[in-house]
Amino acid sequence: MSGGRDGRLGVGVIGAGRVGPVIAAALAGAGHALTGITSGSDDDRVEAILPGLPVLAADEVVRRSELVVIAVPHDELAGLVAGLAEMGAWQPGQLVLHTDPAYGTRVLDPAARLGAIPLAIHPAIVFTGVSSVDLRQLAQSYAAVTAPAPVLPIAQALAVELGCEPVVVAEDDRATYAEAIATATEFSRSIVRQSSELLGRVGVENPGGYLSALVRSSVDQALVEGAGRGGLVGDATIDE
């Protein structure tokens, strides 16, 4: 597919949770045209983020779109891609992008066998579902990018259009990458919850507010120390 003038694409989104609508809003802000989104648990919120965007069945989203963004729970991704392939929905030259941290592009093989171009982009933030917050976080974050070598520049360009700095992660390294993301996310949440409970016991009325500056400065210091050991430094938070 040509993608229209100036590289602009017709973008459809499968998945209307916290991630999909924000990704759609970011791509629309980069100049792409939105074609539709599937229904989710909170269609009113999606309407607020993407007013007037048609709510369609997944196969109709695919039919209308040059770029299909799939933002569904991990356990649903493989079955969704395969099921749409069985329907013959995927189109030659169509870009198919998923946002799951644990998968590279192999999960998109059923679409690729029908001629679609597989891309995996995981923005490293925790999506809140509040578009203003998430779009601001995207503009300060990194994104893990995995794609076949000939189309890797396309995936990198899309990550940049989301507001992220792309970092290439090899197909075989995605599981390790996902483990790192999960460790950072769950450990951070667990520690904050535990500390908040302890402060509450000693009469601190707003333990979350009390810990805010401390936690942020501690994380910043840990990132600086990580950079000294060759780690990656940024203001990114973590996706779930």
Structure tokens at 42: 């909170």
The pTM score is: 0.82
pLDDT reported for residue 95: 98
Q: By the 8 A CB rule, do 144 and 167 touch?
A: yes
**Cα 15 to Cα 74: distance, rounded to the nearest angstrom:** 12
Query: How distant, in Å, are the alpha carbons of 125, 185, 193, 222 from that of 231?
Result: 17, 17, 27, 10
**Cα 147 to Cα 183: distance, rounded to the nearest angstrom:** 24
**Cα 41 to Cα 185: distance, rounded to the nearest angstrom:** 24
User: For residue 61, is pLDDT > 50?
Assistant: yes
Q: By the 8 A CB rule, do 10 and 33 touch?
A: yes
Q: By the 8 A CB rule, do 239 and 123 touch?
A: yes
Among 5-14, 126-135, 148-157, the range scoring the smallest mean pLDDT is: 5-14
